[in-house]
Amino acid sequence: MSVLSGKKILLGITAGIAAYKSANLVRLFIKLGAEVKVIMTPASKDFITPLTLSTLSKNPVHSQFYDTENENELWNNHVELGLWADYFLIAPATANTLSKMSNGTCDNLVLATYLSAKCPVYFAPAMDLDMYKHPSTKENLEKLQHFGNIIIPATSGELASGLFGEGRMAEPEDIVSFIENDILSKLPLRGKKVLITAGPTYEAIDPVRFIGNHSSGKMGFEIAKTAANLGAEVFLISGPSQEQIKHSLIHRIDVVSADEMYKAAHQFFPEVQMAILAAAVADYKAKNVSNQKIKKKDATLSIELEPTKDILASLGANKENQFLVGFALETENEIENAKSKLQRKNLDMIVLNSLQDKGAGFATNTNKITIIDKDLNEKIFELKSKEAVSIDILNEIILKLDA
């Protein structure tokens, strides 16, 4: 999955012949799972039609502050467009537009949105050779980068004038690749490897029955997704779960029992920088597993149980430089029990859930957590979606790693 999947991309098109390439840009962004909205300068419509771009983006295309054909139409809010976007790309960015951007001129919707944007702004220059080399253009390019905008350098090639040289807008595939690589290079977990466990474990009694719990794996899967979106390579060890995940940086390892999860966790733990154990691992398993289905004969059935291997404690005992995070699901004396677990198992952080909190626990889309660090500092969070909770957990870990 691309780092652009699920992102909101605003594409600003200005009046250069390279505007014809913008159709392919929209198509590539959509293919990667991004949502795209397009705004145009009025003159850019001479090079490519709004109909083409709205069809490809599946969103209306705007080029004016309001629709002149409908006096009752609301204005196209440039501030709202700028706040909507996760990334703003201006391609092609003509010499005229670059000059206006660097000097704060605001005479069309693209420029007004640029001045309102709070997100990273990328621009891909496109003009003829002599225009690109002109001192005023070079000054504008330097000024825009000084403002924090990100240039996607022009390439050399045949230009519309018939000349051959620098000034040609980068090809759409190269623009998309440039943006992806730029985003990845700035992600806080870029280059890190993370081990995450999720879901329940099933401990067999016979070929049909097992001891299990109600864990869905939602929390662990959300943490895995967030870690990958922050640039980490993730080893997700999951017990039986209906949750699905697809990301180029996530390696899913499916297991069933606590013993299988123990072996997988110890296999990957030496090569990771952090481990987050969110799985609800069974504490006990049947001492003797029947080879045949146990028939119902008596009014009662006794099964002798023995403890499973403690994955979290064993990793805590073997950790070197890894940052180790555990979870505690409690029903009473929550804080005291969580702190005890943190210290006994040599953790760097523990995430506490309480089944007493409405909206927290198994098989819900929300969670309410308290994070306790190794110095026993507590941080309480409100009830949030599990996606938002995963962001809180990773942000806390990043703060600790950077401290």
Which amino acid is it at 400?
Answer: K
Residues 379, 262, single domain; the answer is yes
| Number of domains present in the structure of the chain | 2
Q: What are the helix (H) ranges across 147-207?
A: 172-185
For residue 81, being part of any structural domain is answered with: yes
Assess if residue 198 is contained within a domain. yes
Closest CA to 372 of 330, 327, 403: 327
Q: Are residues 204 and 266 in the same domain?
A: yes
- Among 96, 213, 346, 395, the active-site one is 213
User: Based on the domain organization, do 210 and 284 belong to the same domain?
Assistant: yes
pTM: 0.77
Q: What is the mean pLDDT of residues 168-196?
A: 94
Taking the C-alpha atoms of residue 97 and residue 325, their distance in angstroms, rounded to an integer, is 50
- Mean of pLDDT values over 364-389: 92
146 domain-assigned? yes
Please give the backbone phi and psi of residue 167, each rounded to the nearest 5 degrees, phi first.
Answer: 135, -10
What CATH number should be reported for the domain holding residue 202?
3.40.50.10300
Q: Which residues pair with 203 in a beta bridge?
A: 211
pLDDT class of 76 with cuts at 50, 70, 90 = low
- When pLDDT is averaged across residues 301-330 and rounded to a whole number, the result is 93
Q: What is the DSSP letter of 200?
A: B
Expressed as residue numbers, the domain containing 42 is: 8-185
Q: What is the DSSP string of 91-145?
A: EEE-HHHHHHHHHT---SHHHHHHHH--S-EEEEE---HHHHHSHHHHHHHHHHH
pLDDT at 73 over 60: no
Per residue in 14-24, pLDDT (tens digit) is 999 999 999 99
Show the tokens assigned to 400. Answer: 């600790």
- Answer yes or no: 213 catalytic: yes
pLDDT band for 277, please (50, 70, 90 cuts).
Answer: very high
Asked whether the predicted pLDDT for residue 46 surpasses 70, the reply is: yes
Tokens of 279: 């799985």
Confidence of residue 168 (pLDDT cuts 50, 70, 90): confident
Task: Output the DSSP codes for 267-308.
Answer: HHGGG-SEEEE--B--SEEESS--SSPPP--SS-----EEEP
**Inside any domain, residue 151:** yes
- What sign does the dihedral 214-195-87-169 (CA atoms) show? negative
Degrees, nearest 5: CA angle 169-173-176: 90
Indicate if 308 and 176 belong to the same structural domain. Answer: no
Q: Are residues 387 and 333 located together in one domain of the fold?
A: yes
What's the sign of the alpha-carbon dihedral 78, 84, 85, 91? Answer: negative
Please check whether residues 227 and 102 belong to one and the same domain. no
Q: Identify the pLDDT of residue 58.
A: 95
- What confidence tier does 361 reach under pLDDT thresholds 50, 70, 90? low
Half-sphere exposure of 306 (CA within 13 A, CB side): 6
- In this prediction, residue 354 has a pLDDT band, given cuts at 50, 70 and 90, of confident
Residue 130 lies in a domain: yes
CATH number for the domain harbouring residue 119? 3.40.50.1950
pLDDT, position 24: 96
Q: What is the DSSP letter of 170?
A: P
Residue whose C-alpha is closest to residue 91's, from 144, 190, 20: 20
Residue 122 lies in a domain: yes
Could you list the beta-strand ranges (E) of 146-227: 150-151, 155-158, 164-168, 193-198, 203-204, 210-211
pLDDT band at 3; cut points 50, 70, 90? confident
Q: Of the candidates 87, 86, 113, which has an alpha carbon nearest to the alpha carbon of residue 100?
A: 113
- Indicate whether 77 pLDDT > 80: no
Dump pLDDT digits (tens) for 108-162: 999 999 999 999 999 999 998 889 999 999 999 999 999 999 999 999 877 676 7
Specify whether 226 is located in the same domain as 136.
Answer: no
My answer on whether 17 and 90 are in the same domain is: yes
pLDDT above 90 (res 347): yes
Residue 3 lies in a domain: no
Give 209's contacts (C-beta < 8 A, 6+ positions apart): 293, 294
- Whether the pLDDT of residue 72 is over 60: the answer is no
* pLDDT level of residue 67 (50, 70, 90 thresholds): low
